[in-house]
Amino acid sequence: MTVLIVGADKLGNLPQELEKHGCQEVIHWDCRKPTARKKEIPKKVDMVVVFHDFIGHDMMNSIKEKAKKLRLPLVFSKRSISDIRKNLIRIVNG
């Protein structure tokens, strides 16, 4: 599974946590540049994780719309292991 992470400057140990849930590849967009809203989600992405405490409303709405068009699972989370774990378990277990 390939996961797109949107937001935050550094991921720390989050890629290792995602590996525990079946993720083989992580793509990270920090969204610092205003042009980030124009990026398209790569076709190989299976799930999108948005760190809502690190991006603005415009970017959040843009990612939400793009993920919905591609019918991708979308996880909104804080940038913390406990919050990402809770949200991933919810998505993975249905």
What residue ranges define each of the domains in the chain, with the CATH number in brackets?
2-92 (3.40.50)
pTM over 0.95: no
Q: pLDDT tens for residues 34-58? A: 777 778 899 999 989 888 777 778 8
Q: pLDDT tens for residues 19-32? A: 887 888 999 888 77
Give per-residue burial for 43-76: e unless 16+ CB within 10 Å, then b.
eebebbbbbbebbeeebbebbeebbeeeebebbb
